[in-house]
């Protein structure tokens, strides 16, 4: 998982330091714009997302239609820019369409885990000792298992499929998000503005909504962004093992599994799905690192 301790430093920066929220976010945006690596990663991700969204127009062939007479064509073949796979299907078209499933299986578990883990983390951070111990000890049970093995075990029990892949990865990502949210909440709840809200007899749900949540949301989103790259790799790994997306759908992990036998015949073609996975996950990690640095108020503007 990503570095939780680094994310925990991002807690209520605009309020704790007495800076107007608008000025704080303007500073963050300025730092991001000056970070060429983060801007480049964001631009590459935007291009990948747009290609996935507009796949019917970006693709040159039907991703499911093959031609056995033109199987394993090399990169640069006329009519097949990136070659063909083991059944003669166009690699470029399958990569473009595969981006849809890969991004969906990567983003959906993180989104669901952020919502569920955020709620549980807020409850653990603002609740009493009993509620905190109950939630955090349950999360510790899941921490006892490596994330990869836990995802494989869940999919092995409930079966393959897109929905089961999303469910298994959501379960994997909830405990770290609960821990980050709980830690940030405990830092914010000791601030003077929270104590003032309590002294004014404000209800707990109002304090969480107006004082706590706006000041922990930034740290939660930064950490969630760092999990997207891991989620894409894990979902592709499950598909590679036959526990994720099922054939003949176009998905990067599934393509990697299908092309593994061609590694000695057309290694470039066989490596293309893996290159797509690495580039996408790397860009999400770089984007997360850039956002984390930009939101750290201890760094000079």
**Rounded CA separation 154/293 (Å):** 35
Please give the radius of gyration of the chain, using alpha carbons only, rounded to the nearest integer.
22
Both structure tokens of 55: 């796949």
Token look-up 């990067």 returns 252
pTM score, whole prediction: 0.85
Question: What are the pLDDT tens digits along the chain (301 aa)?
Answer: 655 555 555 544 444 444 345 566 777 778 888 888 989 999 999 999 999 999 999 988 888 888 888 888 888 888 888 888 888 899 999 999 999 999 999 999 999 999 999 999 988 888 778 888 999 999 888 888 888 889 999 988 888 888 999 999 999 999 999 999 988 888 888 787 777 877 777 777 777 777 788 888 888 888 998 899 999 999 999 988 888 888 888 899 988 888 888 888 888 888 899 999 999 999 999 988 888 887 765 555 4
CATH no. for 4-294: 1.10.3720.10
CA distances from 73 to 77, 89, 148 (A): 7, 10, 34
Determine which helix (DSSP H) or strand (DSSP E) holds 230, and give its type and residue range: helix 213-240
């Amino acid at each position: 998982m990503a570095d939780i301790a680094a994310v925990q430093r991002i807690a209520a920066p605009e309020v704790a330091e007495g800076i107007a929220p608008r000025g704080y976010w303007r500073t963050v945006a300025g730092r991001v714009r000056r970070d060429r690596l983060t801007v480049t990663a964001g631009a590459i991700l935007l291009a990948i997302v747009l290609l996935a969204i507009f796949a019917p127009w970006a693709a040159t062939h039907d991703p499911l239609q093959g031609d056995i007479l033109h199987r394993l064509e090399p990169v640069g073949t006329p009519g097949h820019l990136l070659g063909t796979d083991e059944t003669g299907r166009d690699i470029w078209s399958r990569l473009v369409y595969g981006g849809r499933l890969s991004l969906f299986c990567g983003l959906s578990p993180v989104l669901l885990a952020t919502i569920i883990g955020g709620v549980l983390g807020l409850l653990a951070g603002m609740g009493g000792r009993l509620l905190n111990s109950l939630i955090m000890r349950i999360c510790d049970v899941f921490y006892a298992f490596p994330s990869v093995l836990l995802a494989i075990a869940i999919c092995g029990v409930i079966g393959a499929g897109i929905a089961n892949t999303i469910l298994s990865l959501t379960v994997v990502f909830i405990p770290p998000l609960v821990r980050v949210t709980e830690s940030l909440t405990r830092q914010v709840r000791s601030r003077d503005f929270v104590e003032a809200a309590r002294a004014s007899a404000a209800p707990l749900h109002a304090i969480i909504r107006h004082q706590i949540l706006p000041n922990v949301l930034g740290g939660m989103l930064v950490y969630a962004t760092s999990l997207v790259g891991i989620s894409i790799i894990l979902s592709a790994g499950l598909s590679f093992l036959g526990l994720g997306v099922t054939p003949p759908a176009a998905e990067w992990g599934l393509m990697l599994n299908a092309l593994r036998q061609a590694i000695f015949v057309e290694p470039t073609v066989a490596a293309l799905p893996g290159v797509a996975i690495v580039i996408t996950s790397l860009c999400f990690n770089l984007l997360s690192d850039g956002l984390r640095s930009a939101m750290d108020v201890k760094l000079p503007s």
